Amino acid sequence: MPRPLFRPTFARIDLAALRHNLALARRHAGGARVWCVVKANGYGHGLNRVVDALSGVADGFALVELDAAIELRQAGLRQPILMLEGCYAADELPLYAQYGLIPTLHRIEQVRWLKDSGLNTRLPVYLKLNTGMNRLGLDAGELPRALDMLHGLDCVGDIALMTHFADADEERGIGEQMERLNAMRGGLSYPLCLANSAALLRYPESVADEVRPGIMLYGSSPFPHLRSAAALGLQPVMTLESELIAVRQLAPGERVGYGGSFAADRPMRVGIVACGYGDGYPRHAPTGTPVLVAGQRTRTLGRVSMDKLCVDLDDIDADVGTPVVLWGRGLSADEVAASAGTVSYELFCALAGRVHVVEENRGQAQEHP
């Protein structure tokens, strides 16, 4: 049988694990509505495959890209779609009405666009409040003004309030922001959409009426410095795999890769893996970043190249063709990211288009170029 015509570097996307992680989010959410966050191409996992896998079990989907939301609607998605950054220009609002998209309004100008739009379609509206992150959101003095502008408009349906936590994954927590939120709300009884993955897993008081899990759906911990994904019950969705395409024997003092940043201090075997930053592996990952070769844990050596990286084969029985796991099943992406000074979000989102994808669903694989 002829060999498939692609490099031996591919990503397995485990759709059963994705649904498992959503079920875990639901257990933490209780009866709250669950928005599955699928921005950035489903955190690099493929927007359409993620939405297809979750469309029967998610309450709705949240993203920021208007073209992607329209694509989902044109593909037949009927569930609610929440646009987390709202519209970027007033002339987008007719598209919101046409495709049934829900705007998040985070500044007064957006509220004014809706007020002046003349739309004859009633849109649910989310008002985002700035409770301390100081990124997006209406300040305390702007909320009453926004509500006054929206009151009585024929194009406005249900209104909900939203905020985003800056430190749900850190020691500071959410207490200060919750206090600000409650002060801003006063006696208002609009539904609340609050918890991201970190808050959902750490702070039950943040669950409120609606939650927005993101990274936890894809099997990574939102606070790996506190608890691992495995300890949280999450399963990895993406596994990046490759294989050895060469093996070399180094003498003491011989160097590896660009700049020779790693030099052997003893005779050693080095494996060359067909994966590099052109595939989405972090270029800045240093010597010592964990990797699995033949299911055994070892380390990277030297600088990551565009198409290749080097691994330590001491004490590992491996040769050309031996499988390698860069992250995922058996090796947490969180651990690889920490070694590279980044977060798993970036690893996932950086997966390159040239990487072949294999969908796995209950043990059955279906390949997609």
Give the closest residue to 352 by CA, choosing from 44, 38, 24, 6.
44
CA distances from 8 to 48, 190, 238 (A): 24, 52, 16
Instruction: Give the catalytic positions in this structure.
Output: 39, 258
114, 67, 44, 130: which is closest to 347 by C-alpha?
A: 44
Residue 171: Cβ within 10 Å count: 6
Contacts 24+ apart (CB under 8 A), 248-252: 248/272
CA distance 198 to 221: 8
Length of the chain in terms of residues written: 369
* Buried-state track 252-289, b at ≥16 Cβ within 10 A, e below 16: eeeebbeeeebebeeebbbbbbbbbbbbbbbeebbbeb
